[in-house]
């Protein structure tokens, strides 16, 4: 794992870019990982990634340098643990719409006493060159890994402070496409919808106030500067598909 | 996607046959898709299909003409959304035994405000030739896709009207094998059990009364005519296995 | 399936060893299955196994003689049914920490009226040479398959009697690594921790008292004799990794 | 490997049927292998089988009982050795049109001094339960494996005696579709062409005279009896496709 | 297969563009196939494509409309036949440096009496909707498929007229990268090398004179017009990698 | 690629050990690559590796540090080029029994004017971080890559000097199992056969005299010292299978 964690870099104020990988093919991931992005996100929610492809693609990301991130399908917290066990550094959980969702996500991501993550990261430890230091792994992983909860509905916005208050949730990740559908009550899909920008700024402000991270999917790269000013530090920028 | 949807064809009174695919191999699916069936169902509950094979098999179905259907594992509503995102037109959810099951299934299948399906059907849009019209996709998918809830226990039968009343549930799919086990309280497996035929007729009647679709798995093709008369319009007919 | 079931062998007092498979490659499983172990466990929780690899690896295990076991990811009871449908004889569910977990696990593992397992084991029946006897399969599988609930937290220990009392739960499987983390409230990972041995003995005693099976993961083979004396009959011994 | 070899059974006068497998999916092979055929042929020339799928499908054949056969692509004698190394018992080489072809095929199939097969059948020995007896393997494999050269052109017919005289060639396998094209000089495809039946009978007669085996692909099962009378003992009967 | 063949379109004077696919992942091919190219070439020589990936990627190309082309590895004429059997319309053979190479390539590509292609295109016929018309397939394929021999060395240039004279060779495909290395006797890699342009024009002139097709790999799109004027009609334009 | 090449290390007198990989699963390769071996050899001749698995396993080797080596199947020189294009540093060709074999192998391994390797190492260049320097790649690869010809028959021994004299052949690799069969004219398989040790010493002496490398497969690790004294510098030591 990179000496400096993704969380440390976000906390230091860096503007970090993550590529978005939808193609479940490690050769593609390998190529994407060498394009200069700070991170690569393997998307299991809407992309073609599966349990198997994440297992194969994580080393393809790490080889090239970027931080490996996995977005799990809705509610699949079993996969959050497994993504970490395969060597991911950060997991993004979509549609965290209730406190219960946030708690279950945190539980899957963090070892006790903070959470309920189960011991068995043999593969991740091998991939990190830490195969022989279980005790060190136990003591450091809760701070080295990142649990980002997606805020992308009105419900989630309404309880964003509570989500951010959950121990083990390290930050929020805004999904502006879904948020625009929610904001317009199903009428429009527009990830750059001006109307909702105030709400999006509010989410970052809440994260900052809670001492946690804010990240966002960017369809229009021109908005990166504006969102950085709001407090966002990690930006997802398009997929291999275009 | 076919101009005419599966739902429109059922509503028009057609007797539609779906092949049942258990082999997670796109070459097999490709061959099955050219046999003349109206639809091909990729079975993830009892068959060998997985996240990965569904991703690969959906285009193999569409290429040949039939409507692509996916049966998800019990309770895996995350996979209902993903099946649609991979280009399936219809999803069958097994063992919908509670109203809560029906609501969660509908939520995963339909975009807001009807449900909570998340935006990101890049792959499905590509496969439908609709890659550039997000707004059109948002406005049409809820009516073009089909959510069929399996009725295959006494519990489900007892609340069939309530399941059918859930917004976003487009119809029911009867599983006569499981139903026969339920009907005989575990004593017999017999998908053609005469005893339960009245109940099976009742389910179709309830669906018709609710203005929704009725479908059924047929082990004995001789029963198709009888079930059509009951109101069933989509019939699953055996698998590659025999 | 072996004439004598894994459960019958445990009940007869045999000390059974299971290899632990993390590599999702049937050729590796095939080799492991010929090493002389009584069983091979395909690990989907922390290992690299997926839906797809379990489908391919189960015959590789059976070919060599051992009993095929699958450990599912946390809470993935849909996969418990599917593992059986693919021909596994025993399923281990990790982190069974509530009565509700135990009930859902049992429901997925057993046909009605004991549970809610859905009919459709075409692949398993093919693999068992029982393709033509559905009625026989229905009547025998509930006693031929094994549902082992993992006890690996303080919560689970506290309700072990209740878990063991759930109809359809055939026994417990102790995870001493997680248990050591729980026991030390997150301070240490030590699967041979002397401190917790009394608790571990207690779990076996409870299983024996309930007329059910006790199994355990062994990191230190030297402890096998001691655990056998406690009542454990199935011992997992290391993985291909180390 | 079956106690009695395929060659011994042919020599004993049995009429043996081989299924023809084109689908590179072990689950399909597994099902085909349980249908009661004496052998299953994995087709790499015209079917979808590849190096990888042969590796996975051979155990699926053996598990079910039949003799595993591989048809290699034209001239790919490297793959003849590898098919044996993966556990095939018999290899069919298509388009053996010159003595040189026959010699190269025999060389790849037989250990010295008969041929030039290279040592390294670790996988096949594992699959045969012969992992510990290298010396025994070396001394028995040349007689336990079968090299069948396809006769399917006028050139091959003209030198059939010479092909059959090559040490290490165990018999011939007639391809009547290609033979009909050759016979009609490209005008017709008709594997049951009456015109060529005399030639086909002649091939079997030559094989019998040479003390070697004769096999044939059958599109019309009604011809099996007639071909058996000619001296053919192994009959390929259709594929999963048709 | 498209009503109008690739060869007919080249003969009609169209300037055709082929995408170049190196990633052995059908989802990527599917996306590439919808970008508007006239053809997609699956590269087995330098790209990541294998027997297996070609089998899966050909339908992904056809689905989107383009003509499917396969470049085989050097000298792998067995794969030329198999590419056609999987549904490719055109095969490019690299490094055709001798008349013998050209003859073997033509033999693998064309049915008798023109060549020695073996009968068994079940998969291709299925994919072309021609499953039931073997006789029609036999009579039309030799003119509907294209064998393009790569001219990319001084040796090949020297015998280009002889290569073009081989019956069954439908045209030439120039590899300017290799040609530049040859031209500079190993000193430079420069696919746009001005020095060699006269030779490249000569190759097209020879093809035109022979009544056959000329195609070329283009690293610099600016050269397309100039090469079209020379007589080239099919242009390969970059890969997913670059 | 490692700064120091495998060839440079052998020339410097190091005793280098290569692991031998037969399992076509990148996760296994990844684990093997971290065991401390100097190199990992992916075996396509007798092991389970295929075109596809080599593509996936090479980065798994490089990630861990060792030099990636591929052993190709007999006579598959197309695959020698492709192994290099996938990022292998060294290729071992089995059964190089004629000067023609040696010349074809060298031709596939080296760019002109030394050989006939074709340009297109996009994947290897990406994997080496050399994606933008084609000219540098062209000028350095012939000395950075290693072509090792296997000497494992009496014929090969008889012409070892001629094989070693072929430009582009960088050394020899002795296969003592096949050599023992050859030495005993098919009577025995014994890779430690004392009788042949003089011949084995002679091969190393010839290589040293020619200024080229000598490598050998070791079944008995106790012989490493003795072989090092003969001049061998690279030693293959057992496979994952045992
Ligand atoms: Mg979203
Ligand atoms: Mg059911
Ligand atoms: Mg545990
Ligand atoms: Mg033939
Ligand atoms: Mg070239
Ligand atoms: Mg050898």
Confidence of residue C239 (pLDDT cuts 50, 70, 90): low
CB-CB contact of D108 with D117 (8 Å): yes
State which residue of chain F sits closest to D134, comparing Cα positions. Answer: F189
Q: From chain E, which residues contact B within 8 Å (Cβ)? A: 26-27, 30-31, 34, 55-56, 59-60, 62-63, 123, 126-127, 129, 131
Note whether C122 contacts B189, CB cutoff 8 Å: no
Note whether D122 contacts F175, CB cutoff 8 Å: no
| Mean pLDDT over the full length of chain C | 95
Q: What is the distance in angstroms between the Cα of B89 and the nearest Cα belonging to chain E?
A: 18
The answer to whether residue F2 scores a pLDDT higher than 60 is no
Higher-pLDDT residue of C99 and C63 is: C99
Which residues, other chains included, contact D221 with Cβ-Cβ below 8 Å and sequence gap of 6+?
D237
* pLDDT for position F239: 65
pLDDT (tens digit, 9 = 90+) per residue, F180-196? 999 999 999 999 999 99
Interface C:D, ≥3 CB–CB pairs < 8 Å: yes
Measured in angstroms, how far is the CA atom of residue C96 from the centroid of ligand 3? 10
Best interface-test mutation with D: which of E44, E101, E122 has the largest number of D CBs within 10 A? Answer: E122
Confidence of residue D1 (pLDDT cuts 50, 70, 90): very low
pLDDT (tens digit, 9 = 90+) per residue, B13-44? 999 999 999 999 999 999 999 999 999 999 99
* pLDDT for position C134: 95
Mean pLDDT confidence for D80-109: 98
- Joined together, the tokens standing for residue D27 give 């689950």
Task: Mean pLDDT check: name the lowest of B43-52, C142-151, C231-240.
Answer: C231-240
Go through chain F and tell me how many residues it has.
242
Give the Cα separation of A106 and D51 in Å (integer). Answer: 44
pLDDT (tens digit, 9 = 90+) per residue, D104-136? 999 999 999 999 999 999 999 999 988 889 999
Report CA Rg, chain C.
17
* pLDDT for position E1: 43
Distances (CA, A) of B43 to B21, B65, B127, B215, F167: 6, 18, 20, 15, 58
What's the start-to-end Cα distance of chain A, in Å? Answer: 29
Measured in whole angstroms, the distance separating CA C24 from the mean position of its chain's CA atoms is 18
pLDDT (tens digit, 9 = 90+) per residue, E146-189? 999 999 999 999 999 999 999 999 999 999 999 999 999 999 99
Quote the longest CA-to-CA distance of chain D.
54
pLDDT (tens digit, 9 = 90+) per residue, A196-207? 999 999 999 999
Measured in angstroms, how far is the CA atom of residue C177 from the centroid of ligand 3? 6
**D6-239 — its CATH code?**
3.20.20.60
The answer to whether residue C2 scores a pLDDT higher than 60 is no
* pLDDT for position D220: 87
In this structure, the strands spanning F171-174 and F213-218 are parallel
Higher-pLDDT residue of F3 and F212 is: F212
- Joined together, the tokens standing for residue A80 give 């959050």
Three-class DSSP category at D93:
strand
The answer to whether residue B136 scores a pLDDT higher than 60 is yes
Note whether C121 contacts B46, CB cutoff 8 Å: yes
Mean pLDDT confidence for E74-101: 98
CB-CB contact of E55 with D48 (8 Å): yes
The answer to whether residue F1 scores a pLDDT higher than 80 is no
pLDDT (tens digit, 9 = 90+) per residue, E96-145? 999 999 999 999 999 999 999 999 999 999 999 888 899 999 999 999 99
Residue with the two structure tokens 């070697």: D212
* pLDDT for position F220: 87
Report CA Rg, chain D.
17
Measured in angstroms, how far is the CA atom of residue B176 from the centroid of ligand 2? 7
Ligand 4 is an ion; its neighbours by CB within 5 Å are: D 152, 175, 178; E 118
Report CA Rg, chain F.
17
Q: Which of D26, D34, D56 is opposite residue C126, by nearest beta carbon? A: D34
- What amino acid positions of A are annotated as catalytic residues? 46
Q: What is the DSSP letter of A55?
A: H
Interface A:D, ≥3 CB–CB pairs < 8 Å: no
Give the ligand with the smallest distance to the CA of E111.
4
| Mean pLDDT over the full length of chain A | 95
| Mean pLDDT over the full length of chain B | 95
Count the helix, strand and coil residues of chain C and give each as a percent rounded to the nearest 5: 45, 15, 35
What count of CB pairs under 8 Å joins A to E? 25
| Mean pLDDT over the full length of chain E | 95
* pLDDT for position A89: 98
Measured in angstroms, how far is the CA atom of residue C95 from the centroid of ligand 3? 7
* pLDDT for position C242: 40
Three-class DSSP category at D24:
coil
* pLDDT for position C220: 87
The answer to whether residue C1 scores a pLDDT higher than 50 is no
Give the ligand with the smallest distance to the CA of B116.
1
The answer to whether residue F242 scores a pLDDT higher than 60 is no
Distances (CA, A) of B104 to A180, B202, D133, E90, E95: 22, 25, 59, 49, 59
Mean pLDDT confidence for A212-230: 95
Q: What is the distance in angstroms between the Cα of F49 and the nearest Cα belonging to chain E?
A: 13
The answer to whether residue F45 scores a pLDDT higher than 80 is yes
- What amino acid positions of B are annotated as catalytic residues? 46
The answer to whether residue E242 scores a pLDDT higher than 60 is no
Measured in angstroms, how far is the CA atom of residue B2 from the centroid of ligand 2? 28
Annotated catalytic residue F67: no
Q: What is the distance in angstroms between the Cα of A216 and the nearest Cα belonging to chain C?
A: 29
* pLDDT for position D239: 66
**Could you tell me if the ipTM is greater than 0.90?**
yes
- Joined together, the tokens standing for residue B51 give 């996240």
* pLDDT for position D100: 98
Peptide bond into A113 cis (omega under 30): yes
Three-class DSSP category at A59:
helix
* pLDDT for position D242: 40
Q: Which of A22, A47, A74 is opposite residue B118, by nearest beta carbon? A: A74
Mean pLDDT confidence for B56-84: 96
Q: Which of D50, D97, D181 is opposite residue E119, by nearest beta carbon? A: D181
Confidence of residue D190 (pLDDT cuts 50, 70, 90): very high
Confidence of residue B214 (pLDDT cuts 50, 70, 90): very high
Confidence of residue B240 (pLDDT cuts 50, 70, 90): low
Domain residue limits, chain A: 6-239
Residues of A in contact with F123 (CB under 8 A): 27
pLDDT (tens digit, 9 = 90+) per residue, C199-222? 999 999 999 999 999 999 998 889
CB-CB contact of F166 with F193 (8 Å): no
Best interface-test mutation with F: which of D73, D100, D122 has the largest number of F CBs within 10 A? Answer: D122
State which residue of chain A sits closest to C189, comparing Cα positions. Answer: A135
What count of CB pairs under 8 Å joins A to C? 78
């Amino acid at each position: 794992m990179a000496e400096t964690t993704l969380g440390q870099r976000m906390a230091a104020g860096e503007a970090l870019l993550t590529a978005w990988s939808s193609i479940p093919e490690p050769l593609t991931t390998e190529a994407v990982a060498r394009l200069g992005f700070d991170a690569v996100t393997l998307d299991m929610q809407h992309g073609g990634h599966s349990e198997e492809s994440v297992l194969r693609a994580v080393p393809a990301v790490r080889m090239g340098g970027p931080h490996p991130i996995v977005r799990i399908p809705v509610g699949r917290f079993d996969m959050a643990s497994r993504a970490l066990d395969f060597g991911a550094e950060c997991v993004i959980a979509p549609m965290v719409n209730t406190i219960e969702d946030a708690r279950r996500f945190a539980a899957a991501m963090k070892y006790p006493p903070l959470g309920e993550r189960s011991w068995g990261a043999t593969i991740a430890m091998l991939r990190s060159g830490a195969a022989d230091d279980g005790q060190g792994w136990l003591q450091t992983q809760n701070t080295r890994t990142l649990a980002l909860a997606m805020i992308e509905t009105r419900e989630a916005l309404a309880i964003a402070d509570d989500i951010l208050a959950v121990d083990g949730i390290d930050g929020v990740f805004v999904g502006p496409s879904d948020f625009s559908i929610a904001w317009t009550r199903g009428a429009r899909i527009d990830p750059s919808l001006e109307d909702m920008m105030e709400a999006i700024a509010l989410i970052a402000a809440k994260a900052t106030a809670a001492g946690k991270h804010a990240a966002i999917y960017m369809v229009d790269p021109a908005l990166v500067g504006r969102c950085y000013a709001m407090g966002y530090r990690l930006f997802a920028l398009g997929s291999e598909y275009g």
